[in-house]
Amino acid sequence: MSSFAICHAAIFTVDPDNRVIADGALVVEDGVIRQVGEFREVTIPEGVEVIDAGGHALLPGLIDCHSHSSLMRGVTENMPLMEWLPWYQLEHRAMTEEYAYHSARLCYLEALQSGITCVMDMFRYMDRCADAAADLGLRVQLAPYVADRPGKDFFSTRDENRQLIRSHHESQNGRIRVWMGLEHLFYCTEDAYRDAARLSREYGVGIHTHCSEQKEEEQAVTAEFGRRSLAMLDHYGILGERTLLAHCVWLNDEEIARVADTGTSIAHCPVSNAKLASGVARVPEMLAAGVTVGLGTDGPVCNNSLSLFEEMKFASLIQKATRLDATVLPAEQILRMATINGARALGLDREIGSLEVGKKADLLLLDLGGANMAPVSVNEQGGNLLWNLVFAAGPGNVSGVWVDGRQLLRRGEAVRVSQQAVIADAQRQGLALHEACRKLAHTRMSMV
């Protein structure tokens, strides 16, 4: 792990006081933040690398709280969720370890290029996803797609999830963590949920699953089980401080209160929810109730891009538009959702998510020299730069990314892998996977 100092950056600490330092310096030693403050007040240790970051903003690395790695980008389009799911299942029926590795490597590269330093990934063959994360140096939380109902044998098993915990949890110096992953109420038996809750306690790991994503889905769950989705998860003993629920678009007031009371967190995926016509989650009510809400991309299959900048902007704008209220979800609240709230949802807020002494150096450096960021004005409240970080910035502004104090992206280029090789490999593997899915679809149609 390297030691270095970043000087003359506009620093957005996202600490409890939302401290902004117009001309700041941050010192990293052995991968940990040791100093952060006004440049004139920080002591730069002798012999460390000094990075002049004038004309840049320094932020905590962004955190994607819910994603699905994939090579199937732009394939299942113009479909609502319940029509989309059968096509998405084809990918998993055709999935191999090699496809999974290249899916994860491509998506993790795009995440880094977008300023994301930590991804919650729910996918298949996640030992190979761990290999991909190790290649790039990314911090990942791995939640296998576990399903055990009849006809869902193409997803992961509980035994695979247990083995992944034993083999990979807290590997790569703690950058790789493993969760209990559960696909959905229609995919998993009661025993799977109760086993996940037991293993969560036994191994001290989190639980990640989907909940209440679409209105029609909620109606189907109620018809099948006699309870709404959240009530079923509560009945199975899933809710709690170690649990992260994706989507939660259709929660009512009582359910939001129950999520808050149990300390359960939510991964909000506004772009995916809009694209699949799932609806608009009641995020202001969730936050007002004290629920921890992070942001997620939901992966390239149902989003097309993996940009937390897009999620930040859209998360705010969709609430303003649907509520006819320009004041809802302001920039400072959205930035916290993409950083410290995401860290808290993943149980990592003591380690990452803000720029504070003692935390790991997961850093994002943004170049403010682009036309989309000018003019720049910074003060103790952030100035116009705070708003432009949320409503104007994009992956094209990402200059540097560090995880654990190791630089993974420099001047927009990956440091540890060849970007061209990753993309070329993904192109070949993606076309092969598309062909495998096409043949599988043809075979299944012939059998009908």
pLDDT digit string (tens) for 277-300?
999 999 999 999 999 999 999 999
The pTM of the full predicted model, rounded to 2 decimals, is 0.96
Cα dihedral across residues 146, 237, 267, 250: positive or negative: positive
DSSP-H helix ranges across 239-351? 253-262, 270-275, 283-288, 308-323, 331-338, 340-345
Higher confidence at residue 43 or residue 2?
A: 43
Mean pLDDT, to the nearest integer, of 416-442? Answer: 93
Question: How many Å is the Cα radius of gyration of the chain?
Answer: 21
Distance CA 192, CA 4 (A): 47
Q: The tokens of 332 are what? A: 């400072």
**Does residue 8 come out as left (phi exceeding 0), alpha (psi in the -120 to 50 range) or beta?**
left
pLDDT score of 448: 41
Mean pLDDT, to the nearest integer, of 309-338? Answer: 98
Cα 417–chain centre separation: 21
Q: What is the DSSP string of 183-212?
A: --TTTS-HHHHHHHHHHHHHHT--EEEEE-
Lowest mean pLDDT among 94-108, 155-169, 433-447: 433-447
pLDDT score of 1: 55
Q: Is the pLDDT confidence value at 52 over 70?
A: yes
Mean pLDDT, to the nearest integer, of 187-215? Answer: 97
Do 168 and 204 touch, CB atoms closer than 8 A? no
Q: DSSP letter at 49?
A: E
pLDDT score of 81: 72
Q: Is the pLDDT confidence value at 441 over 90?
A: no
pLDDT score of 446: 52
Residue type, 286: M
Higher confidence at residue 109 or residue 94?
A: 109
Mean pLDDT, to the nearest integer, of 217-246? Answer: 97
pLDDT score of 444: 59
Q: Is the pLDDT confidence value at 445 over 60?
A: no
Residue in 243, 273, 280 with CA at minimum distance from that of residue 259: 243
